[in-house]
């Protein structure tokens, strides 16, 4: 498996268009997804934090409301005492001489307080300390702590200072009752006489601190979060780690809490971790502070992280697959074209690439098809051409050693030898030899005009020996064109035609005019005879090649024309004009070739 | 072409595999995150014991602060060794992240702690440092310092020539020995000082008799340092009978009667421990040290506080004298 992977890795075409497209798409999508995911994460976390802050503030408000309701209750109890006639009378400075007179009042007040206490378990004690020295409480018999002077207690002193308004103390040990040391919060106020001016005593109601403690400790602010309360000067009212704070084993952000207004929050990030302090003011001048650890949201946070990561990866996975398919789809026609081109490279010109989509690549494919068709056509043409050339060459070879002509000539030589015309025999044989040399010795297609003319000259010489007065010929070849080249056996077939079809059957002697001249970049040869000529129909037949001329002993004139056009193109060739009874003119155009 | 298709399939499979692995982690790692449970084994888990309940609340506070679950156990009576042995056995089977223990003075308990250490469970000992080799880290009140504080109080208040009578509980008590050592350390440096040590166990009556006898002696001790509540109450009775307010009377730890004695100024000073801090620091230590279970064992000493009748109602001292904990 690993080796396969490695092989794929190494053989993978990293520079292929598909890979480039894939990488480009994937990279682009990756970046976009990464940005979106990060942003999404940030926003989600922000929103979660904001939500939790709102939630915590709400809890703080709730705590505040609860504390306030406890305080309000104490306030109400104090008002009850304040307005109670028994209480007022009991502590008034001008009544009760004897202790026994005061007993019923004491009992009634005590009953009242007790009733209140029974109905409310959050209240620890209710007491009245008269300035006249009388004390009454919810206890039937109030045993005061002999070692503690109530007048020295801060709740007593503070109440005196407040001039009839109630005051709430910080949590403290209520030590005025003998044998009881309870943690309480005291609400105390100075009681006035009926005139509302003369102070007559101190009323105190104690709230069990456990009520506040329970309330605060039951608030769940994440695993590590907690609630604490400070008063307006920064003294700790309640803190789960109060003892640690006293021992300096823990610190709290008191100054920052004090400077934060109600409903606001601030964030602290130190060795204990990032946490948010949400501050809520109470009516007492206290500040309730909810502390939540940022990583307590981590369960939340990490699940957000995970889910965003998951979705991002899912998105990336899907997008990679899609970009894969897309790049494959885009490069598929190119690949197909490439594959087809390779086929063409290997020589298969029958291929036609398929055209499916209508796009640029389709156009490319169309062009490719046209090109391949063109190449194929040209190739065919080339094949055909070379075939024709071979055929023409065969015919040419035939013409070069025309057996009929050779036979006739040799027959003539024999005849002349029998006549003992030795000189003529020598002449003719020599001409024959020259003729053959001119036509055979050269292997190449192109021969100089000089050679061609020499060949014709020898041929005509031999024919002249045979036909005597019947045949005559005139050469008009300018010497400056003799070194040009042209295809061999260019003129001989026409001269042969002129002799066999024009002059031989004629009663009067025939003359063949052979001339050549240069016209710009063309050479023009003309073979003119004053033989029998042809009718227009016959001429058309001959020029179109429907009638095989000279088939048994020479090359057809069509063959010459074909050869010219094969070598030099269709702009060149042979034309023939003929008038019946007057003769035939053959004009041959070839390019000037050095 | 075929080869390429295989490559794509492999790529898709890889992506799918990666997604699967990631989703696996997403769903299963979060479940593994909360392995942290620590066991807190107290000398006494009795709701009557303010000291140990305060230790417990300190320990719980630290555990809560670290976001760790906790399990509190301990005998109802601080002589119930079997209960503590059971708790240790539980710890061995439960394999908690760490154990905090205030061991009872018994060899079997010490063996149990060694077994925990051998099982690679971090242990921190509270209250009493262990008299064993390779002792685990400990967090305890500095009893020597407590003695020194008492000694200093005695020396300071008696001006010159302090004659200090020390009434301890048992001769075998390591805590008493430490405190006595502290007292003697301070007084040894004071000229014309003299200390004598007596033992009266946990008996109020014995302490009363002992104190009465002491008061009749000549020269009479001018300072009395007592080890525990019953001795303090017995001694106080003797002192009150003789109306000997001039006697410097110092006791350790706080209790209801000692507070009353302090309020009425029969007691001149209480040297108190900080049990909340002990519980808190022990848990904090076991959680922070648990990463390095090595042989590096440290001893944390918690300073004690001297409380006099005038300072007993400061907010700090109220917290120490009148423990307030969630019941």
- One domain for residues B125 and B156: no
Q: Check whether residue B51 and residue B119 sit in a common domain.
A: yes
The pLDDT confidence band at residue B298, using thresholds 50, 70 and 90, is confident
Could you tell me if residue B96 is inside a domain?
yes
Query: Most confidently modeled of A160-174, A350-364, A532-546?
Result: A160-174
CB contact under 8 A, A324 and B264: no
Do B118 and B266 lie in a common domain?
A: no
The enclosing H or E element of A422 equals helix A422-440
For residue B271, is pLDDT > 90?
Answer: yes
Task: Supply the pLDDT for residue A551.
Answer: 45
Better-scored residue on pLDDT, A547 or B42? B42
| One domain, residues B62 and B177 | no
**Distance between CA atoms of A116 and A14, rounded to whole angstroms?**
88
Q: Name residues 162-191 of chain A within 8 A of B (Cβ).
A: 170, 172-173, 175, 179, 181, 183
Is B292's pLDDT higher than 50?
A: no
CATH assignment at residue B93: 3.40.50.2300
Q: What is the mean pLDDT of residues B259-266?
A: 88
Average pLDDT over every residue of B242-254: 85
Sign of CA dihedral A551, A553, A558, A563: positive
State the pLDDT confidence band at A297, using cuts at 50, 70 and 90.
Answer: low
Q: Is A235 an interface residue toward B (CB < 8 Å)?
A: yes
Q: Do A147 and B265 touch (CB under 8 A)?
A: yes
In angstroms, how far apart are the furthest CA atoms of chain A? 206
Q: What is the ipTM of this complex?
A: 0.81
What is chain B's length?
Answer: 327
Per the CB < 8 A criterion, the answer to whether A277 and A290 are in contact is: yes
How remote is the C-alpha of A415 from its chain's centroid?
97
Instruction: Flag whether pLDDT at A74 surpasses 50.
Output: yes
Least confident residue range of A40-49, A78-87, A149-158, B64-73: A40-49
- In the stretch 134-163 of chain B, residues with CB closer than 8 A to chain A read none
Answer whether residue B176 is part of any domain: yes
- Give the DSSP per-residue string, B154-178: HHHHT-SS-EEEEEES-TT-HHHHH
B103 in any annotated domain: yes
Say if B93 falls within a structural domain. Answer: yes
- Order of strands across the sheet that contains A273-281: A236-238, A226-230, A287-293, A273-281, A265-270
Q: Which residues of B touch A317 (CB under 8 A)?
A: 15-16, 18-19
pLDDT bin (cut points 50, 70, 90) of residue B34 is very low
Segment B130-179, tens digit of pLDDT: 776 677 888 888 899 999 999 988 887 766 678 899 999 888 888 889 89
Interchain contact, B19 vs A183, CB within 8 Å: no
For chain A, the structural domain boundaries read: 84-207, 213-297, 401-591
Name which of A146, A214, A310 is nearest B26 (Cβ-Cβ): A310
Please give the mean pLDDT across all residues of chain B.
83
Residue B10 confidence (pLDDT) above 90:
no
Count of domains forming chain B? 2
pLDDT score of B21: 62
B11 with A324: Cβ contact below 8 A: yes
Peptide bond before residue B219 is cis, with ω within 30 degrees of 0: yes
Q: Which CATH number fits domain A401-591: 1.10.3720.10, 3.40.50.720, 3.30.365.10, 3.30.565.10?
A: 3.30.565.10
Per-residue pLDDT at A300: 61
Which residues of chain B neighbour A145 with C-beta distances below 8 Å?
Answer: 263
Contact B64 A145 (CB under 8 A): no
What is the pLDDT of chain A when averaged over all its residues?
82
> From CA B80, how far away is CA B52, in angstroms rounded?
15
Same CATH fold assignment for domains A84-207 and A213-297: yes
Instruction: Give the residue from B272, B288, B314 where a domain finishes.
Output: B272
Give yes or no: residues B167 and B119 share one domain.
no
Q: Is residue B262 situated within a structural domain?
A: yes
How much is the average pLDDT of A342-351? 82
Q: Which residues of B touch A242 (CB under 8 A)?
A: 319
Looking at residue A540, its pLDDT comes to: 80
Q: In CATH, which of 3.40.640.10, 3.30.2350.10, 2.60.40.1180, 3.30.450.20 is domain A213-297?
A: 3.30.450.20
Of the candidates B203, B195, B211, B205, the residue with the CA atom closest to the CA atom of residue B169: B203
Q: Answer for the pair A81, A119: CB distance below 8 angstroms, yes or no.
A: no
The answer to whether the CB of A226 falls within 8 A of the CB of A218 is no
Do B161 and B268 lie in a common domain? yes
pLDDT band, very low/low/confident/very high, at B30 (cuts 50, 70, 90)? very low
Looking at CA atoms only, how far is residue A229 from chain B in angstroms? 15
Range scoring the smallest mean pLDDT among A573-577, B289-293, B304-308: B289-293
Whether the pLDDT of residue A101 is over 80: the answer is no
B255: containing domain: 143-272
- The CATH class, in words, for A84-207 is alpha beta
Q: Please tell me whether residues B77 and B133 are part of one structural domain.
A: yes
Q: What percent of chain A has pLDDT over 90?
A: 4
| Cβ distance of A320 and B15 shorter than 8 Å | yes
Asked if residue B307 has pLDDT above 90, the reply is: yes
Confidence of residue B326 (pLDDT cuts 50, 70, 90): low
Asked if the model's pLDDT at residue A446 lies above 90, the reply is no
Q: Is residue B179 domain-shared with residue B252, that is, in the same domain?
A: yes
Residues B153 and B233 in one domain: yes
The DSSP secondary-structure symbol of B219 reads S
Beta bridge partners of A144: A177
Cβ atoms within 10 Å, residue B22: 16
* Whether residues B103 and B158 fall in one domain: no
- B29 domain-assigned: no
Residues B54 and B149 in one domain: no
Within a domain: B155: yes
Q: Which helix (H) or strand (E) holds A135?
A: strand A135-137
Q: How far apart are CA A159 and CA A190, in angstroms?
A: 6
Q: What are phi and psi of A478, to 5 degrees?
A: -65, 140
Q: Given this model, what pLDDT does residue B20 score?
A: 63
């Amino acid at each position: 498996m690993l080796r396969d992977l490695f092989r794929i890795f190494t053989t993978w075409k990293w520079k292929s268009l598909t890979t480039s497209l894939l990488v480009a798409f994937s990279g682009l999508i990756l970046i976009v997804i990464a940005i979106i995911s990060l942003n999404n994460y940030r926003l989600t976390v922000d929103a979660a934090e904001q939500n939790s802050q709102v939630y915590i503030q709400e809890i703080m408000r709730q705590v505040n409301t609860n504390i306030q309701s406890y305080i309000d209750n104490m306030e109400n109890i104090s008002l009850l005492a304040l307005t109670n006639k028994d209480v007022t009378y009991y502590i008034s400075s001008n009544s009760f001489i004897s202790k026994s007179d005061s007993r019923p009042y004491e009992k009634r007040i005590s009953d009242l307080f007790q009733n209140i206490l029974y109905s409310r378990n959050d209240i620890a004690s209710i007491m009245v300390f008269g300035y006249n020295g009388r004390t009454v409480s919810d206890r039937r018999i109030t045993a005061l702590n002999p070692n503690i002077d109530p007048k020295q207690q801060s709740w007593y002193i503070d109440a005196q200072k407040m001039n009839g308004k109630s005051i709430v103390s910080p949590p403290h040990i209520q030590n005025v009752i003998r044998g009881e040391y309870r943690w309480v919060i005291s609400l105390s106020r100075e009681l006035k006489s009926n005139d509302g001016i003369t102070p007559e005593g101190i009323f105190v109601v104690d709230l069990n601190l456990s009520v506040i403690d329970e309330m605060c400790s039951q608030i769940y602010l994440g695993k590590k979060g907690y609630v604490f309360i400070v008063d307006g000067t920064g003294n700790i009212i309640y803190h789960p780690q109060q003892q640690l704070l006293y021992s300096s084993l823990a610190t709290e952000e008191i100054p920052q809490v004090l400077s934060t207004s109600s409903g606001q929050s601030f964030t602290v990030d130190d060795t204990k971790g990032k946490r948010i302090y949400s501050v809520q003011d109470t009516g007492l001048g206290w500040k309730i502070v909810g502390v939540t650890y940022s990583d307590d949201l981590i369960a939340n946070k990490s699940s957000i992280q995970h889910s965003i990561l998951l979705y991002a990866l899912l998105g990336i996975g899907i997008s990679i697959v899609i970009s894969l398919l897309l790049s494959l789809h885009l490069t598929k026609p190119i690949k197909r074209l490439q594959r087809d081109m390779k086929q063409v490279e290997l020589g298969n010109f029958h291929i036609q690439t398929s055209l499916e989509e209508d796009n640029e690549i389709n156009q490319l494919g169309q062009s490719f098809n046209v090109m391949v068709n063109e190449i194929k056509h040209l190739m065919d043409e080339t094949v055909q051409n070379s075939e024709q050339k071979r055929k023409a060459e065969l015919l040419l070879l035939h013409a070069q050693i025309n057996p009929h002509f050779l036979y006739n000539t040799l027959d003539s030589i024999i005849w002349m030898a029998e006549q003992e015309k030795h000189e003529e025999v020598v002449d003719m044989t020599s001409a024959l030899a020259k003729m053959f040399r001119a036509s055979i010795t050269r292997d190449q297609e192109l021969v100089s005009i000089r050679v061609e003319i020499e060949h014709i000259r020898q041929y005509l010489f031999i024919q002249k020996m045979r036909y005597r007065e019947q045949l005559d010929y005139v050469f008009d070849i300018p010497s400056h064109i003799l070194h040009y080249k042209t295809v061999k056996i260019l003129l001989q077939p026409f001269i042969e035609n002129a002799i066999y079809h024009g002059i031989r059957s004629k009663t009067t002697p025939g003359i063949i005019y052979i001339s050549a001249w240069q016209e710009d970049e063309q050479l023009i040869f003309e073979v003119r005879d004053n033989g029998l000529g042809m009718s227009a129909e016959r001429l058309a037949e001959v020029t179109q090649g429907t009638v095989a001329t000279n088939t048994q002993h020479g090359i057809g004139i069509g063959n010459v024309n074909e050869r010219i056009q094969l070598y030099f193109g269709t702009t060149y060739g042979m034309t023939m004009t003929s008038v019946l009874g007057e003769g035939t003119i053959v004009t041959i155009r070839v390019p000037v070739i050095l | 072409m075929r080869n390429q298709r295989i490559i794509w399939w492999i790529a898709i499979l890889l992506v799918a595999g990666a997604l699967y692995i990631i989703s696996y982690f997403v769903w299963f790692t979060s479940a593994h995150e909360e392995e942290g449970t620590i066991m807190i084994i107290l000398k006494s888990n009795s709701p009557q014991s303010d000291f140990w309940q305060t230790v417990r609340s300190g320990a719980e506070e630290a555990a809560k602060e670290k976001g760790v679950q906790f399990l509190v156990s301990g005998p109802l009576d601080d002589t119930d060794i079997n209960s503590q042995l059971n708790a240790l056995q539980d710890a061995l089977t439960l394999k908690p992240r760490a154990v905090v223990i205030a061991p009872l003075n018994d060899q079997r308990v010490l063996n149990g702690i060694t077994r925990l250490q051998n099982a690679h469970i971090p242990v921190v000992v509270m209250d009493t440092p262990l008299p064993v080799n390779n002792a685990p880290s400990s967090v305890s009140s500095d009893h020597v310092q407590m003695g020194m504080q008492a000694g200093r109080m005695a020396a300071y208040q008696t001006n010159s020539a302090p004659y200090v009578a020390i009434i301890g509980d048992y001769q075998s008590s390591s805590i008493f020995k430490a405190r006595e050592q502290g007292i003697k350390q301070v007084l040894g440096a004071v000229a014309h000082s003299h200390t004598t040590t007596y033992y009266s166990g946990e008996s109020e009556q014995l302490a009363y008799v002992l104190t009465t006898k002491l008061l009749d002696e000549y020269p009479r001790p001018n300072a009395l340092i007592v080890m525990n509540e019953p001795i303090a109450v017995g001694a106080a009775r003797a002192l009150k009978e003789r109306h000997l307010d001039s006697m410097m009377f110092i006791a350790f730890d706080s209790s209801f009667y000692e507070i009353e004695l302090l309020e009425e100024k029969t007691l001149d000073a209480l040297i108190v421990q900080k049990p909340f801090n002990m519980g808190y620091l022990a848990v904090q230590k076991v959680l922070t040290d648990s990463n390095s279970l090595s042989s590096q064992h440290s001893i944390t000493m918690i300073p004690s506080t001297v409380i006099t009748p005038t300072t007993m109602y400061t907010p700090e001292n109220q917290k120490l004298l009148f423990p307030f904990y969630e019941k």
